[in-house]
Amino acid sequence: MSDDKRSAFGAKRCAAGPMNDARLEAARKRLTESKGQEDAIEGLREIVANLLGSEEIGLFRVDRRTSTFQVFWSFGIDLENYDLLQTMGGSGLERVMRGECHVEFAAGDRSGATAKAQAFVPISVAGQTIAILAILRLLPQKLAFDRSDMELFKLLSDEAAKPLFGSSGHSIPSEGPGIRT
Amino acid sequence: MSKKILVVDDSRTALMMSREILEKRTTYQCVTASDGHEAVEKAQQEHPDLILMDVVMPRMNGFEACKVMRQQPGTREIPIVLVTTRGEESYMEAGFQSGCNDYITKPVDGAELVALLQSYLGE
């Protein structure tokens, strides 16, 4: 894939209007008020569906010892044979492991964006990526990811680990809650 | 007196987002329900000026709730805006046949939502 169809967004903030602030506040509140891991996962699904516009989502856990990525949970898509490395490429995966979001077909890209728009968001604790949230297809009415979405990605990256995986962020059970379609 | 909006959604995130927008960024008052059945009850109790309602919900979906409200004297005239993830024409047609006044798709753009509400309710 050529570079013009791939965009990487780091931690920098973009100009946010008051409505985007409302969106961020709702996402933050939903995550922090989650009652346990199952509710946090449901919250994550709700945030992606309602605020980002996707119903094909995967959450991969990162095993740094073996340098592998395992499906922890998915919604709307079967990820049994999904290969993160093949999809993102080595540089994309490295970027996410460094704590940056990797977004394909962001706003301003050419036609075909909707069908192929994907975002990979590091879920981090103290700067270390412990899981990767994959948003794999947008709803037809959402044309592409935009700059305000990057702020929501940043929030998820910084704040989703604790409700999802506990206060240390490292107490990840070996088995996820399963696949939902 | 501020206008009252009944927001109906089984997603806590969607309700939180609506509250953030309506209560902190407009002068509208917000009451909520989490399914169509509760929406019908709340609409009769609260007499909202407008109902913003998700379609896919447990117990009673948005289409069904819309039909029920259109049959009841106390709620027949309340503007209903349906909100859903599905934007296909046939789906929207089903929404209008259930009696809704308008239809918006998720993800909801906050500014567009407020503009739509203002078109029904004023500032």
User: pLDDT tens, position by position, for chain A (181 residues)?
Assistant: 343 334 444 333 333 478 889 999 999 999 999 999 999 999 999 999 999 999 999 999 998 888 788 999 999 988 888 888 778 888 888 999 999 999 986 444 445 444 578 999 999 998 899 999 999 989 988 888 988 999 999 999 999 999 999 876 654 444 444 444 3
pLDDT at A140: 86
CB atoms within 10 A of CB B45: 11
Q: Does the pLDDT value for residue B76 go beyond 80?
A: yes
Please give the DSSP secondary-structure letter assigned to residue A145. Answer: B
CATH number for A3-180 (one of 3.20.20.70, 3.30.450.40, 3.90.1200.10, 1.10.3660.10): it is: 3.30.450.40
* B80-84/B50-54 β-pairing: parallel
Q: Which residues contact A159 (CB under 8 A, 6 or more apart)?
A: A28, A31, A32
CB neighbour list of residue A12: distance below 8 Å, 6 or more residues apart? none
Residue reference for tokens 């993102």: A88
Residue B63 resides in a domain: yes
The answer, for B115 touching chain A at a CB cutoff of 8 Å, is no
Query: Residue B105 falls within a domain, yes or no?
Result: yes
Average pLDDT, chain B: 94
Name residue A113's amino acid: A
Domain ranges of chain A: 3-180
Q: What is the mean pLDDT of residues B13-32?
A: 95
Q: Which residues in chain A are closer than 8 Å to B21, comparing Cβ atoms?
A: 19, 22
The nearest alpha carbon in chain B to A18 belongs to B25
pLDDT at A141: 87
- Is the Cβ–Cβ distance between B34 and B123 less than 8 Å? no
Which residue's structure tokens are 């997603």?
B11
Query: How confident is the model at residue B90, as a pLDDT?
Result: 82
Using an 8 Å CB-CB cutoff, list chain A residues near B85.
Answer: 49, 53, 55, 139
Cα distance between residue B103 and residue B86, in whole Å: 10
Neighbouring CB atoms inside 10 A of A13's CB total: 9
A113 has a chain B CB within 8 A of its CB: no
Query: Of chain B residues 7-66, which have a CB less than 8 A from chain A?
Result: 11-14, 16-17, 19-21, 24-25
Instruction: Give the integer Cα–Cα distance in Å for B57 and B88.
Output: 18
Residue B12 and residue A30 in contact, taking contact as beta carbons nearer than 8 Å:
yes
Predicted local distance difference test score (pLDDT) of residue B91: 82
Q: What is the pLDDT of residue A147?
A: 87
> Would an 8 Å CB–CB cutoff place A35 in contact with chain B?
no
Q: In a mutagenesis test of the B interface, which of A45, A141, A145, A156 is the best target, namely the one with the most B β-carbons within 10 Å?
A: A141
Q: Higher confidence at residue A172 or residue B50?
A: B50
Range of the domain at B79: 4-116
pTM (predicted TM-score): 0.86
Parallel/antiparallel/unpaired status of strands B102-105 and B80-84: parallel
Residue at B24 is within a domain: yes
Selected for mutation to probe chain A from B16, B55, B84, B105 (highest A CB count within 10 Å) is B16
The count of domains in chain B is 1
Q: Which two tokens stand for residue A51?
A: 């605020």
Is the predicted pLDDT of residue B99 greater than 90, yes or no?
A: yes
CATH at B100? 3.40.50.2300
Secondary structure string (H, E, C) spanning B23-74 = HHHCCCEEEEECCHHHHHHHHHHHCCCEEEEECCCCCCCHHHHHHHHHHCCC
pLDDT of residue A170: 54
Q: How many CB pairs under 8 A join A and B?
A: 67
Write down the pLDDT at residue B14: 97
- pLDDT, residue A84, reads 81
C-alpha span between A138 and B115 (Å, rounded): 24
